[in-house]
Structure 1
Amino acid sequence: MTVTDRQPAVGGVDEALLRSVIPAVIGVLVRRGADFASAEDAVQEALVEALRAWGEDPPRDPRSWLTKVAWRKFIDATRSETSRRRREERVDAEPPPGPGAATDDTLRLYFLCAHPSLTAASAVALTLRAVGGLTTRQIARAYLVPEATMAQRISRAKRTIADVDLDQPGDIATVVRVLYLAFNEGYSGDVDLAAEAIRVTRQLKGLTDHPEVAGLLALMLLHHARRAARTRPDGSLVPLAEQDRTLWDTSLIAEGVEVLQAALAQDRLGEYQAQAAVAALHADARTAEETDWVQVVEWYDELVRITDSPIARLNRAVAVGEADGPRAGLAALAALDRSLPRYSAVAAYLHERDGDLATAARLYVEAAAAASNLAERDHLTRQAARINAALRG
Structure 2
Amino acid sequence: MKQFIASSLLVTLVAGAAAAPQATAPAEHWQTTWISSPQPVWGESWVLPLGMPTSLRDVTLQQPLRTSLGGERVRLVISNEYSTGPLKVGALAVRATGRGPAVPVRFQGRDAITVAPGARVISDAAPLPLRAGERLETALYLPQTTAVAGFHWNAQDTTRILPGHAIGRRGIAPTQTLTTRAFIAELRVAGTRPPQTVVAIGDSITDGNGSSIGRDQRWPDHLARRLAPQGVAVLNAGIAGNRLLRGGWGDSALARFERDVLRHPGVRAVVVLLGTNDIGFPGSPFAPHEAPASLETLTGAFRQLVEQAHARDVRVIAATVPPFEHALAGTPLQGHYSPQKEALRQALNAWIRKAGAFDGIVDFDAVLRDPTHPSRLDPALDSGDHLHPGDVGYRRMAEAIDLRALLGNTDTEVPKNAR
- TM-score above 0.5: no
Q: TM (normalized to structure 1)?
A: 0.32
Greater share of residues in strand:
2
TM-score by length of 2: 0.30
More relative contact order, 1 or 2 (CA 8 Å, 6+ apart): 2
Q: Whose helix proportion is higher, 1 or 2?
A: 1
